[in-house]
Amino acid sequence: MHRRGTNPDAMHNVPAATASPIHTPLAIDNALALHRDGQLDSAEQAYRAILDAQPRDAKALYMLGVLYLQRSDVERAIERFDAALALQPNDADCLNDRGIAALARDDNEAAAHFFRRATECAPRDALAHCNLGKALRRVGRHDEALRGFQQALALDNGFFDAALGTADMLEALSRPAEAIAAYQHAATLEHDDARVLLGLGKTFNAVRRHAEAADYFSRLLQREPANLQALFGIAFATDGLLKFDDAIVWYRHALRIAPDSSTLHNNIAFSLTCLSRYDEADHHLRRALELSPGLANACKLLGMSELRRGNYRQGWAYYEHRKLTQSGLRDYGKLDIPEWQGEPVDGKCFLMAREQGAGDQVQFVRYADVLHDLGATVDIWTSDELAPLFARTRGVRHVLTEPPEGRGYDYYCRMMSVPTWLASDAIPHGVPYLSADQAQIATWRTRLEHAAGSRKKVGLVWAGNPDHYLDVYRSAPLAALEPLASVRDVAWFALQKGAGESQLDGVAHRWPICALGQLLDSFHTTAAVIQSLDLVITVDTSVSHLAGALGKPVWVMLPKQADWRWMMSGETNPWYPSARLFRQQVLGDWSPVVDALRGALEAL
């Protein structure tokens, strides 16, 4: 915290209206000279001599307070500042130092009061505005703190502390793009300041510009190899670049410094999971929970690990914590309906509520029939694109596309939470549990048979959600699948929608594929097309769930680190009996998967 009073040269002259200034200018000048030279004992004696002669000398009182503050004698400093302010209540310098003294004893609200008074008395004093920002930051009033720092910077664009404070507050307010610009301005003033390098790294991570983030953390670590925040930041950035082996090295380095950090144990577990090192990941997750019981992210990850292993009772219980993660608190708002936690549902009106992606909802809508068999009247709240399909689901009365106001329902439950509260861990095996419209199926079957003739009709999806964290591994470049084109007597139909469709142009002259993506205007239509095919081959995306829920033969191409619902190993899956799984052995290498697919196709 800056305090102008620590430098006697920086003090404003006391106005002529000072109460009874009978000492000679030479006396105060001599005291200030001693103070300036660091002779604090002699300066104290000189100030006291002035005050012995004139107890109401405001400047001597103020400067003696400054001296005590330099010695960290906060209480005596406050006594002198208060006495000086009683004589000169609008002295901005004294108000500023009185605020600093308040901060020294963690009286942050009082500090903010004195700094605000200083800005009122000296509205063009950048230092007072900056200090006000610092006090307000301490009490968590980040919006007001930001205004203080910005006002200081407007008055003095070269004021480093104000530039840094502005950036810090923008980062705290989750405005990372603006924070980056503010940190970059601070860097023009102090390009090697550790706080600036750290702030730039954190904010570039926040906007997923991980390579730039890693560069700033690396610069800081060259100077401070044991800087824990920088180690955490570079590990997180490296993970974001999908360099999981390197991220693990950085996390281990950080753990040597902070072995009891639950966050570090949680994060290294994520990187280990991405490399399918599940036992090591579980060890770190359990350690994280020993250190921070109930840590939501660790519980969620451990839940997925248990589900992947088929330990459903433990898995569902841990997975409930997904609602308490930072993203979960945003996405899982409570409805104005009692939330079901296993109470009897016979005779009750029950709402199954949407969550996560389309594939998740397709997988878990099967539990509507389970609840119906227990005596519940079941409605579904889902998205517009799934509503027509779910309206045909066994056990469902009505489908909503907007959250209800609560009237008429005894309970609600998020779709993926229903199995948590059921008495049995058994996965409902009533497959198919979705169906398409028979008239649509007939129409599509005619169209596809006309195109295919006597050949087998195979649907293909090669790309999933591009926003998924691991999409680069979950999606397979269409060119990598091109060896499938050599299989005879197969008519290929692309069910691909979105950005992946453009890859068709690159193989069109070598691999004739009929593109249907533009015609698939809903999951209901896609279901009818799938029902008209002989087989679907797809990466892990909503189509894999849809085909499985329809009971259609579906071959799923899985990355080395597959999602929990595909289990840890094997070609079969308990959720979808009609699915056959083709797993990578090396992350990112699709060649063996394609070879296995080609062999299986040729054997049909």
- Which amino acid appears at position 472 of this protein? V
Burial of 3 (0-12, 13-18, 19+ CB in 10 A): buried
- Which amino acid appears at position 450 of this protein? H
Percent of the chain with pLDDT over 90: 89
Contacts 24+ apart (CB under 8 A), 48-54: 50/23, 53/22, 53/23, 54/20, 54/21, 54/22, 54/23
Dump pLDDT digits (tens) for 294-352.
Answer: 999 999 999 999 999 999 999 999 999 999 999 999 999 889 999 999 999 999 999 99
CA dist 339 and 353 (Å) reads: 10
Quote the pLDDT of residue 26.
86
Cα–Cα separations (whole angstroms), residue 404 to 259, 348, 401: 47, 16, 9
Confidence of residue 407 (pLDDT cuts 50, 70, 90): confident
Q: Taking a C-beta distance cutoff of 8 angstroms, is the pair 130, 122 a contact?
A: no
CA dist 523 and 387 (Å) reads: 9
Kindly state the greatest CA–CA separation across the chain. 114
Residue 15 has pLDDT above 60, yes or no: no
**577 preceded by a cis bond (ω within 30 of 0):** no
User: Among the residues of 105-227, which ranges form H helices?
Assistant: 108-121, 126-138, 142-155, 160-172, 176-189, 194-206, 210-223
Q: Given phi > 0 = left and psi -120 to 50 = alpha, else beta, which region is 131?
A: alpha
Q: What are phi and psi of 134, to 5 degrees?
A: -65, -40
Quote the pLDDT of residue 498.
87
Q: Given phi > 0 = left and psi -120 to 50 = alpha, else beta, which region is 140?
A: left
Q: Taking a C-beta distance cutoff of 8 angstroms, is the pair 559, 474 a contact?
A: yes
Confidence of residue 1 (pLDDT cuts 50, 70, 90): very low
Q: Which of 470, 472, 519, 467 is nearest to 496 (CA)?
A: 519
With tokens 């000048």, the residue in question is 29
User: Among the residues of 224-295, which ranges form H helices?
Assistant: 228-240, 244-257, 262-274, 278-291
CA dist 36 and 39 (Å) reads: 8
Of residues 7 and 88, the one with the higher pLDDT is 88
CB atoms within 10 A of CB 355: 19
Quote the pLDDT of residue 2.
42
Cα–Cα separations (whole angstroms), residue 33 to 29, 60, 145: 6, 13, 36
Q: What pTM value is reported for the model?
A: 0.87
Percent of the chain with pLDDT over 70: 96
Question: E strands of 260-409, at which residues?
Answer: 349-353, 377-381, 396-400
Q: How many residues are there in the chain?
A: 604
Residue 23 has pLDDT above 80, yes or no: no
Q: Taking a C-beta distance cutoff of 8 angstroms, is the pair 217, 238 a contact?
A: no
Cα–Cα separations (whole angstroms), residue 175 to 140, 179, 200, 459: 16, 6, 13, 44
Summary mean pLDDT of the chain: 93
Cα–Cα separations (whole angstroms), residue 454 to 424, 428, 534, 601: 45, 36, 12, 15
**Structural element, H or E, at residue 72:** none
Contacts 24+ apart (CB under 8 A), 506-509: 506/478, 506/479, 507/478, 507/479, 507/482
Distance between first and last Cα of the chain: 76
In order of start, what are the domains of the chain with their CATH numbers? 4-227 (1.25.40.10), 260-331 (1.25.40.10), 349-421 (3.40.50), 438-603 (3.40.50.2000)
Contacts 24+ apart (CB under 8 A), 28-32: 28/59, 28/60, 31/60, 31/63, 32/8, 32/63
> DSSP class of residue 436?
-
- Which amino acid appears at position 466 of this protein? P
Quote the pLDDT of residue 75.
96
Q: Which of 474, 450, 464 is nearest to 495 (CA)?
A: 464
Helices (runs of H) and strands (runs of E) counted in the chain:
28, 10
CA dist 232 and 405 (Å) reads: 44
Q: Which residues contact 251 (CB under 8 A, 6 or more apart)?
A: 235, 264, 267, 268, 271
CA dist 130 and 291 (Å) reads: 38
Do the strands 490-494 and 554-558 form a parallel or antiparallel pair, or are they unpaired? unpaired
Dump pLDDT digits (tens) for 38-76.
Answer: 999 999 999 999 999 899 999 999 999 999 999 999 999
Q: Which residues contact 358 (CB under 8 A, 6 or more apart)?
A: 383, 385, 386, 523, 542, 545
